[in-house]
Amino acid sequence: MVPFLTHNRSFQVLKLNNNGLGPAGGVVLANALLESAKLSKAEGKPSRLRTVICGRNRLENGSASAWADAFAAHGTLQEIRMPQNGIRMEGITALAQGLSRCPDLRHIDFQDNTFTADGEVSGVEAWTEALKSWPELTTLNLSDCVLSGDGEVPQIVTALAGGSNPKLHTLQLQNNNLETETFLALSDGVAKMGSLRLLELQWNDAEEDDVNLRTLAQHLKRQGGKLLATDDDEEEEEGGGGGTRTCGR
């Protein structure tokens, strides 16, 4: 596979889900992609790589920097999905820096990796800084990423609510220890997220009938959007229902 990834510079989509790569295998493949980018540059040709999907491979921190270097070297990604890879804060920070060199990114999925650790939030800070690099971003999945440790409003949510990515259509923030102050920040910012149509907040720390969550749902509905905040909401969405409940867990 390494020769293919290095020398075949015509493919645009790379899918490697659930292949048991581990950190060592991840480094090998990422380095092959990096070499491919270098060869294209030497020939004066732009990279054709647009999509990388590499979930459930236990890439961990050990390969994160190599992937970050590869993504930065290509600079052409429009879709990146790396969920469930056991990547922790140091690796997440490196990946934010690498992906910030890909201004055409539209779809990002890093579900079930870890952005904070023991009160340290450098991963969240790095991704907050990177948001401005992605003006075309439409879908962002950061569910199960420990964005908040003690219920504080994550910096990245504040930035998104401030309109950092005006084309954002789908935002997934499930199971991130988010509390009512975060729901308030999102509610206050809905008008600045004018393209937002789907916001997923299930399994956070919401009280039943949380007023900020309810207000958020109302504001989102006014602009044609939908809030999913409970298991019932998700079942209704899958069943094609039109209403939205807004209570917590």
Angle (CA) 213 176 142, round 5°: 100
Q: Does residue 31 sit within a domain?
A: no
Number of domains present in the structure of the chain: 1
Helix, strand, coil fractions of the chain, as percent rounded to 5: 40, 10, 45
Structure token pair of residue 182: 């975060």
Q: Does residue 45 sit within a domain?
A: no
Q: Does residue 102 sit within a domain?
A: yes
Q: Does residue 35 sit within a domain?
A: no
Domain that holds residue 120: 13-21+50-238
Cα distance between residue 131 and residue 134, in whole Å: 6
In tens digits, what is the pLDDT along the chain, a chain of 249 residues?
999 999 999 999 999 999 999 999 999 999 999 999 999 999 999 999 999 999 999 999 999 999 999 999 999 999 999 999 999 999 999 999 999 999 999 999 999 999 999 999 999 999 999 999 999 999 999 999 999 988 999 999 999 999 999 999 999 999 999 999 999 999 999 999 999 999 999 999 998 899 999 999 999 999 999 999 987 776 666 666 544 444 333
Q: Does residue 43 sit within a domain?
A: no
Q: What is the CATH number of the domain that holds 111?
A: 3.80.10.10
Q: Does residue 59 sit within a domain?
A: yes
Q: Does residue 65 sit within a domain?
A: yes
- Count CB-CB contacts under 10 A for residue 97: 18
Q: Does residue 36 sit within a domain?
A: no
